[in-house]
Amino acid sequence: MVSAVVRVRRYLFTVAGIAIGVAGLVALGAMSERIVRFIEGGDRFVLGQISVAGRGMGMGAGFTAGGLLPAARIRAIAEVPGVAVVQPQVMLPLDPTTSQFMTLTQELILGVDLSVPSPNRHYRALPVQAGRLLRDGDRRVAVVGAAFAASRNLRVGSRVTLAGADYEVVGVLDRMLTAPDRFVIVPIADAREQWVTKDPLLRTVVASGAMPLTAADLNTGAAVGWRDGEDPDAVARRIQARVADVNVQIPSELSHQLKVSTAFFSALMAGLAALGLVIGGLSLANTVAAAVFERIRDFGVKRALGATDLQLGGEILGEALVVTMAGGVAGVVLAVAVGFGIDVFVGERAQRLFLFSPRLVAGAITFSVLLGAVAALYATVRVVRLSPAEAIRRGS
């Protein structure tokens, strides 16, 4: 251990050079991981339930279409063979002026009917970082996503104003790096009130009595769960065929659409990650090889003192591995520190750019050590092929 520390001190500049290469690689990888997690999270969500919305013009928030899904249709959906559970929902943009934009960072109000269990097979309950989830009978309380909470400095017990009404924050979700990070989840009755408050057209319709609406009719959509053994796509198509005036999203088709719509980001990040591998890898390999060649005279001297090719090769390789490992770890630490600093800065705008997953960190260190070993091996072969006299001459 002491000897490893001494070696690292001896090769401080080499370690620093490797660390910078690895840091670049890890930072780009972490941005890629962040996007991948976002896409995977969305994919996992849409594959866990059938999302049904009242028919509209496709200008609603989240998966909704801007139309109503009245109680009668919710009952009709529940009667479709294969359907296990239907949870009425109200999904609204927090800021209606941006409701037309289906952005990746849209903040949403999600009103859920707590008398019905969550139908999503992949998210039976969202993970809570502090406080609790909503309970049946709650009113004027909210559970907020991690990014939403961070951007407004909210914690359990904080107060938040939604559509002019005061709410108590009873829970903060774990950071999931996907859509719920920007959700404000409230009881469905509260969400219905907000909807009426925010939507002048709906207010006019309700006030005019032109449509016989009750509170239970005010749903933008529903999350539908299927019975065990059922094919979710088949159940969704059955709903489509049997219930009029609904937009049914076929889980596999939605998943495909999601992947297509995020293909650009996936390709961009894959490209950046590949670029990081090439640039970081070349920087690392070059630094390790240069560090070996720089000491060519010393290796010539060691050969003169009786070191065999095997002894010298093992020595060079061992040192290169220690140095590369130290550089790799330092690079990861540097990338995490820089990423954390940037995330703190952008966190004020409810963003997070980096995800330093264990697989990324392990992969980066493994990659750097393997590449360092290959570079050191190449340099070692070049060095030991020289005669001791030639090595001393070249290094002098």
Partner 1 sequence: MLRAERVVKSYRGPSGAVPVLAGVDLSVRAGELAVIQGASGSGKSTLLNVLGLLEDADAGDVWYGDVPVSGLSRSAQSRQRGRSVGFVFQSFLLVSSLTALDNVLLAGRYVGRRGHETRERARALLADLGVAHRWDHYPAQLSGGEQQRVAFCRAVLNDPPLLLADEPTGNLDDANGRVILAQLRARARHGAAVVIVTHRSEALEGADAAYHIEGGVLRQRASVPAKERGC
Binding of partner 1 at residue 389 (CB under 8 A)?
Answer: yes
For residues 94-115, one letter each, b for 16 or more C-beta atoms within 10 angstroms of the residue's C-beta and e for the rest, the string is beeeebeeeeeebbbbbbbbbe
Task: Please report whether residue 15 would count as binding partner 1 according to CB under 8 A.
Answer: no
Instruction: Please say whether the beta carbons of 94 and 140 come within 8 A.
Output: no
Task: Give the type of residue at 20.
Answer: I
3-state secondary structure of 309: helix
Measured from the CB atom, is 231 or 298 closer to partner 1? 298
**Is residue 3 a contact residue for partner 1 (CB under 8 A)?**
no
CB of 374 vs partner 1, minimal distance in Å: 23
* Cα distance from N-terminal residue to C-terminal residue, the chain: 32
Cα(321)–Cα(22) distance, integer angstroms: 14
Among 298, 341, 349, 381, binds partner 1 (CB under 8 A): 298
H/E element holding 363? helix 358-385
CB of 9 to partner 1, least distance (A): 10
- Does position 381 bind partner 1 by CB under 8 A? no
Q: Which stretch binds partner 1 (CB under 8 A): 241-249, 352-360, 363-371, 382-390?
A: 382-390
Residues 186 to 205 in contact with partner 1, rule: CB under 8 A? none
Question: Which tokens belong to 80?
Answer: 């479709």
Radius of gyration of the chain (CA): 29
Look at strands 165-173 and 83-93 and give their pairing. Answer: unpaired
Decide if residue 303 touches partner 1 (CB under 8 A): yes
Could you tell me the two tokens for 15?
A: 């370690």
Of residues 20, 94, 307, 365, which one binds partner 1 by CB under 8 A?
307
**Judging by beta carbons within 10 Å of its beta carbon (0-12, 13-18, 19+), is residue 160 exposed, middle or buried?**
middle
Q: How far is the CB of 11 from partner 1 (least distance, A)?
A: 9
* Helical pair 309-347 and 296-304, crossing angle rounded to 10 deg: 150
Q: How far is the CB of 306 from partner 1 (least distance, A)?
A: 2
Pairing of strands 159-162, 165-173: antiparallel
User: Which CB, 229 or 306, lies closer to partner 1?
Assistant: 306
Minimum distance from CB of 379 to partner 1 (Å)? 17
Q: Does 5 bind partner 1 (CB under 8 A)?
A: no
Cβ proximity to partner 1: between 298 and 348 the closer is 298
In the complex, what is the shortest distance from the CB of residue 381 to partner 1, in angstroms, rounded to a whole number?
A: 13
309 scored as a contact of partner 1 (CB under 8 A): yes
Closest distance to partner 1 from the beta carbon of 303 (Å): 7
Report if residue 304 touches partner 1, rule: CB under 8 A: yes
CB 316 to partner 1: min, Å: 13
DSSP classification of residue 396: -
Binding mask 106-125 toward partner 1 (x if CB under 8 A, else -) reads: --------------------
Cβ 251 vs Cβ 75: under 8 Å: no
310 contributes a contact to partner 1 by CB under 8 A = yes
Instruction: Categorise residue 209: left if φ over 0, alpha if ψ from -120 to 50, beta otherwise.
Output: left
Among 308, 314, 341, 345, binds partner 1 (CB under 8 A): 308
Q: Which stretch binds partner 1 (CB under 8 A): 265-273, 279-287, 305-313, 348-356?
A: 305-313
CA neighbor of 351 nearest in space, from 97, 123, 38: 38
Angle, helix 263-294 to helix 251-261, in steps of 10 degrees = 50
Taking the C-alpha atoms of residue 127 and residue 343, their distance in angstroms, rounded to an integer, is 21
- Shortest reach from residue 15's CB to partner 1, in Å: 14
Q: Residue 396 interacts with partner 1 (CB under 8 A)?
A: yes
Q: Which residues bind partner 1 (CB under 8 A)?
A: 10, 297-298, 301-311, 387-390, 392, 396
